[in-house]
Structure 1
Amino acid sequence: MDREAITAVCIDDFAIKKRESYGTIMVDISTHQILDMISSRECEAVCEWLKTYPNLQVVSRDGSVTYNNAVVDAHPGALQISDRFH
């Protein structure tokens, strides 16, 4: 997978164990393929993941302040879009 070719992702949280632990899933918007799943939805972990994709221009996400902060920290110029399910 060419990380530099990916310019748009969708990120969302999921329950690993409901009410106890959560993770984040990352999906390529163009191909609808899962890029990765991490066992955290904390700002620092998501930010570090986002930084590994240097050319991200668009991030679709829910209304989470944590995800907003992660995107701003990793890619300040990226367009953030609230996904249609939230």
Structure 2
Amino acid sequence: MLIDCETRKPLGLLPGRDAGTLAAWLREHPGVEVICRDRAGSYAEGARLGAPQAVQVADRFHLWQNLGTAIEQCVRRHNECLRRPGSGPGDRPDIPFSSEPPSAKEMSPIETRIRERHAIVHALLDQGHGIREIARELHMGANTVRRCARTEYPEQLLGSRRQPRPSQLDPYKPYLVL
């Protein structure tokens, strides 16, 4: 559903969720200056094709969702830095992840796939299969299977998925970090 954000009135209902449908609608309705959309990649592409002059922005909900995702990834990435209350400064942290994975609705498709892969690899290892045998059977690289085998919890794989990229904020981070 397309809505005019200023008047909050519906503009139209698209027959599909693909880039071509949105691009066609935008071409039929020239003059769009700002497109407020969700995080779907197809909408980004459709907006770029149908109204290249328009600025694409996120609404408050999706900004909060992006922030929550970023915080969750940061906490996962730095889980090893956290210590249990009462542990000494030199003690290695031992914070178990919850055994209850989040519901499928809360997980991205990549996170779901990583969790499933981790469970399958560990199940096969428990049955006595070797790394190369599992890699062949699952059509995965041996290094991927080894990485899964070395981790006790799938969250340890999720935390290291992304390498930090340069940011426009890098020059200002010393002033932002306390």
Give deviations 1:22-65, integer Å, cap 9, x for gaps: xxx00011210001112200111111011111100100001111
Indicate whether 1:56 and 2:32 are aligned. Answer: yes
Aligned match for 1:65, one of 41, 46, 59: 41
Determine which structure has the larger helix proportion and give its number.
2
Larger radius of gyration: 2
Determine which structure has the larger strand proportion and give its number.
1
Aligned match for 1:84, one of 60, 73, 80: 60
1:71 counterpart SS class: helix
**Aligned-residue CA RMSD (Å):** 0.9
Aligned match for 1:46, one of 4, 7, 22: 22
Q: Residue 18 of structure 1 corresponds to which residue in structure 2?
A: none
**Higher relative contact order, chain-length normalized (CA < 8 Å, sep 6+):** 1
How many corresponding residue pairs?
A: 62
> Any gaps of 5 or more consecutive residues in structure 1?
1-24
TM-score by length of 1: 0.67
Counting only pairs closer than 5 Å after superposition, residues 20-31 of structure 1 correspond to structure 2 as 25-31=1-7
2:13 counterpart SS class: strand
One-letter identity of the residue aligned with 1:46: L
1:66 counterpart SS class: helix
